[in-house]
Amino acid sequence: MSQQQQPPTHPLHGFAQREPDELIQRARAYADELSRRRTVRDYSDRPVPRAVIEQAVRAAGSAPSGANQQPWHFVAIGDPAIKQAIRAAAEEEERAFYAHRAPEDWLDALAPLGTTADKPFLETAPWLIAVFYERHRIGSDGQREKTYYAIDSVGIATGMLIATLHHAGLATLTHTPSPMGFLTEILGRPKHERPFVLLVAGYPADDAQVPAITRRPLPDILTVLSDHSD
């Protein structure tokens, strides 16, 4: 039987009650800002303070998660030697991917992005953030404990990380070399943590180019079922 007692609570602090017009205006402004985000592959080597990364990870760590288990760990890498090792390992996997691992239809789907096995940004950008999720936990008694919705949770946290870095004024790239096991080794993470994504963050290069892509229009991605039309 689960416990019958109510868990401890405290009042919801700091929630601003806003009028509907203000809700709309704020939502529009934030959507406009997030819509200006582009995935960037050409980076400047201009340094970025570590405090920016720390605050962005703090934002990510506030994400909702299954049973509030917060099944994530972030490794921020600014060390050139580690970035070099990551680039070498990632490019080795990518060469296999582009040469023979990827099926033809996958390569066709990637063609508009113009990606190749060369990943210079892994060394040029000032920060790489390796995001890990915990498939399970090792409890204080050394026993394995289950985590719930770990991948979903870390995905939400990563979205908030990207949004915060963008809001701060940095460009990002969600890089997913496959397989990513080398990150566990290079970064010395425990085996029960799995790499989720390698996020690249920095200023874009002055001459950065991005693919000419479009976003699906709202009516394509939204269905509203409402009893009123305002």
Q: Return residues touching ligand IYR (CB under 6 A).
A: 94, 97, 110, 113, 115, 175-178
Min. distance of Cβ 211 from ligand IYR in angstroms? 10
Nearer to ligand IYR, 41 or 166 (CB): 41
CA gap 202, 51 in Å, rounded: 13
User: Closest CB to ligand IYR among 52 and 117?
Assistant: 117
Q: Environment class of residue 213 by beta-carbon count within 10 Å: exposed (0-12), middle (13-18) or buried (19+)? A: exposed
Q: How far is the CB of 3 from ligand IYR (least distance, A)?
A: 44
| Nearer residue to ligand IYR within complex by CB, 53 or 198 | 198
Entry field: residues in the chain: 230
CB of 70 to ligand IYR, least distance (A): 27
Which pairs from 48-51 meet CB under 8 Å and 24+ separation? 48/126, 48/127, 48/170, 48/201, 48/202, 48/203, 50/76, 50/78
* Residues β-bridged to residue 130: 75, 198
CB of 115 to ligand IYR, least distance (A): 4
For the chain, the distance separating the N- and C-terminal CA atoms, rounded to the nearest angstrom, is 46
Q: Indicate the angle between helix axes 150-168 and 50-60, nearest 10 degrees.
A: 140
If the CB atoms of residues 84 and 176 are measured against ligand IYR, the closer one turns out to be 176
Q: Which is nearer to ligand IYR, 83 or 147 (CB)?
A: 83
Of 49 and 211, the one with the shorter C-beta distance to ligand IYR is: 211
Q: Which amino acid is at 31?
A: A
- Minimal CB distance residue for ligand IYR: 115
Q: What's the min distance (Å) between Cβ of 175 and ligand IYR?
A: 6
Smallest separation (angstroms) from ligand IYR to the CB of 197: 11
For 9-40, give the DSSP string.
Answer: -----S-----HHHHHHHHHHHHHHHHT--B-
Chain centroid to Cα 72, Å, comes to 11
